[in-house]
Amino acid sequence: MTHEMLTALRPLLTAEASAEAHASGMEPGDLEQAVWLRLLERLDGDRPPADPQGWLRRAVRAEARRGRRTARLELPYRAEPVDDTGRDPEQQALTAARRRALHAAVRRLPGRCPRLMAALLSPHDLTYREIAGELGISQGSLGPERSKCLGCLRRLLAAEVAAREPRG
């Protein structure tokens, strides 16, 4: 009885799923699978539908509604735009690691260098006037102070890079 009923319902389900899938934002095959699953769950409990064709039509529409609700409630995985610069994941990981190492080294600088370098590396692209105002120093002393901090950063990073290289 069950096998014959499934064979008889297949064309109807295909037609109903094709008709409802586009409006629900689902693929017809996914909608068919969801309805087959509902039918098999029902048959597993020994409760075959009294009117299989009517039940199938209602089940297709119910699954289509569920698909529309899900599509409306789901949020995209990434809120920021996808990086389409053509870099592969390995390059992106290496760039991120270099950026983290740079920021860690900046935090270890002496005096007011960490704040100055953080302001220079800021994604807000601050002007020298804004940086000088934020740090409370004159705009004219910003250049020499930056040079001193870059020299410290260069020595700090050179020591780290030299220490990691194998010798001999």
What residue segments make up the domains of the chain, in order of their start?
2-73, 92-164
93 vs 166: which has the higher pLDDT = 93
CATH of 92-164, one of 3.90.75, 1.10.10, 1.10.3470, 2.60.40: 1.10.10
For the segment 157-165, the average pLDDT, to the nearest whole number, is: 67
pLDDT of residue 80: 58
Q: Mind listing the pLDDT tens digit for each residue in 4-37?
A: 888 888 999 999 999 988 887 788 888 999 999 9
Q: What is the 3-state secondary structure (H, E, C) of the chain?
A: CHHHHHHHHHHHHHHHHHHHHHHHCCCHHHHHHHHHHHHHHHHHCCCCCCCHHHHHHHHHHHHHHHHHHHHHHCCCCCCCCCCCCCCCHHHHHHHHHHHHHHHHHHHCCCCCHHHHHHHHCCCCCCCHHHHHHHHCCCHHHHHHHHHHHHHHHHHHHHHHHHHHCCCC
Q: What is the pLDDT of residue 16?
A: 92
Name which residue leads in pLDDT, 68 or 59.
59
What mean pLDDT comes out for the span 115-144? 87
